[in-house]
Amino acid sequence: MSTVHAPTAAPTDRCDLDRIEDAVAFIRTHDTAGVLAALLPGLDPAERAGLAAHSAFTHAAVLVFPESVAGLREELRAGGLDVGPVTPSVVVRDRLARRYGRPADTLDVGILRAPVTAADGRPCEVEIFALAVPAGAGQDAVVAAERARQHEAHLALEVTRPDAVVLAGLRETLLTRGRMTADGGGHNAHEGSTVLYFRCPEDTGTPYTRLELNARGAHPGVLGRHLGEGTPAQSAGRGGHDGADGHRGPAERLLHLMTGAWATQALAVAADLRLADHLAAEPRPDLARLADLTGTHRESLGRLLRYLATLGVVTTADPADGYLLTPIGELLRTDAESSLHPLALMYGGPFYRSFGELGHSVRTGREGFDHLFGAHHFEYFAERPELADLFDRSMAASSAMFGPIPGLVDLSAVRTVVDVAGGNGELLSRILRAAPHLEGVLLERPHAVEAARATMAKAGCADRCRLEAGDFTRAVPAGGDLYLLSRVLHDWDDEQCLAILRRIAAAMPEHAELLVVERLLPQDGQDSLAVPWDVHMLCNVGGRERTSAHYADLLATAGLRLTSHTELPLDAALLRVRKA
């Protein structure tokens, strides 16, 4: 098969067929060594050769969205691809259901496999996950988000002679020297194999963001450690495993939980010393050099770095060889895209101190921040420009959650977008960049308006955005076609939320839509960043996180209706709202 040709009136979108064609071409032009070179450019040839000696490239996987899975199979067979029968995909279906808050039985996901010969003549496969999206199925948001973020696209290696030692060694090499991060996994009892997933570094230049490592047999020890090193959401919900400490006894697990505050301070100190900037500026600086650059006590800095290594922030095979940043540590660089450096300073600074007053909040229902500092969070920061600036930069640090939003909304009929309490304007600027015909209005406090002015200028949208200094609790600009309310409602109790929503509803024309960005509390016990953030809101501002049902009730009381919600990065969600 040289290309995938869609017949006339084909139900499958051309971009999906192109994605399959690209996967086939990738397999044909790569072997195991080529895959390792593409995904792990930081490894030296000897290290890649060692990995290749114990693993083999088996398949490339993509997710596409035909009107009919069976119809897609016929298209591909007509194009010359020897596609086998359709088999259902429960795993991908359930992941999509959790990701977008859809009932699993409303998603029809099938797997298509076709043999493709790799560059070295070995047999491989293209693995095609296909979510059927008939016309009018209401899955446009899912399709747009998955096409933008490529959650399910991956390359796969099989361990050629699997045992616990080899598998543990491969895994350790991928995580440390390969700068990958653990991204879930599991044991497939039906196929008798263990699967480990890895998230690739962002600088590989390939369209594949994940690596799948397969090993025949059950390897519970390695799997348990791997699941524990992913995010809480990745570790949750996997039978027989209870997180990073699943192999420890209850006392050890409790002691590890108790040291969480120490990790917060270690990250805050690393951010204050700009360790990540120094590690990025020089190749493998050793301890003496880092102590010189940071003006710190050499031995004490070494002890901090050893702790940061256990947290997955830095890595080193031997301190004498110098230190490297991991993908997690890269996010502490001040110049990194979506840098979390300001958040590390904020969480290790004012919020760390106020969280010490959590007992007061739990006993009284009042903010620990006010109890400690003698003023509400917003008032206290407003009187201290340096803290107000740090807070605004901290909010901007989570802007990665905004990435998919412009692709989730049809902007063709929109003319004016109003961002209420829009911070530094990051979300609005992304939407304005996505649709050059749009005009924007951003309402914020006076000092934040200046930050938004800089954002708009950098994005090239300054001439299309009117900045208004004002208080959204008093008035909201009227007449917009699309309104934005990002991470605002969780700052307030229900009564104040209703006042805000009613004010926006009064400003909205009948045709307008409101987009709300918030974290949603899970309704099924699933792990989520919204759960600790809810306690944070209790202690620091007197607000709260809410379930989608709670938001739906508030919106209905304010004369609005929740039409849908879609998962975003960083455990956030996009709620789409219309007038009732």
pLDDT at position 1: 47
The terminus-to-terminus CA distance of the chain in angstroms comes to 52
CB-CB neighbours of 127 under 10 Å = 21
Cα–Cα distance for residue pair 369/239, rounded to 1 Å: 39
Interior CA angle at 319 toward 313 and 321, to 5°? 105
Contact, 10 vs 75, CB < 8 A? yes
Residue 490 appears among annotated catalytic residues: yes
Left, alpha or beta for 493 (phi > 0: left; psi -120 to 50: alpha)?
beta
Q: State residue 248's pLDDT score.
A: 54
Predicted pLDDT at 523? 76
Rounded CA-CA distance 477/547 in Å is: 28
Task: Output the tens digit of pLDDT for each of the chain's 580 residues.
Answer: 445 544 444 567 888 999 999 999 999 999 999 999 988 888 888 888 989 999 999 999 999 999 999 999 999 999 899 999 999 888 888 778 777 767 777 889 999 999 999 999 999 999 999 999 988 777 887 888 888 878 889 999 999 988 888 898 999 899 888 888 888 888 776 677 889 999 887 656 677 888 999 999 888 778 877 876 554 333 333 332 233 343 456 787 788 889 999 999 999 999 999 999 999 998 888 899 999 999 999 999 999 999 998 888 888 756 677 888 887 888 899 998 779 999 999 999 999 999 999 999 999 999 999 999 999 888 898 889 889 889 888 888 888 889 889 988 999 999 999 999 998 899 999 999 999 999 999 999 887 788 899 999 999 999 999 999 988 888 999 999 999 999 999 999 999 999 999 999 999 999 999 999 999 998 766 678 899 999 999 999 999 999 999 999 999 999 999 998 888 888 899 999 999 9
Our CA angle for 401, 404, 406, nearest 5°, is 115
576 pairs with which residues across the strands? Answer: 515, 564
Per-residue pLDDT, 200: 83
* Model pLDDT, residue 227: 73
Residue 127's DSSP bridge partners are 61, 113
Of 547, 559, 541, which Cα lies nearest the Cα of 488?
541
Contacts 24+ apart (CB under 8 A), 102-109: 102/142, 107/131, 108/69, 108/132
- Residue tagged active-site, from 490, 511, 550, 565: 490
pTM over 0.85: no
pLDDT of amino acid 120: 94
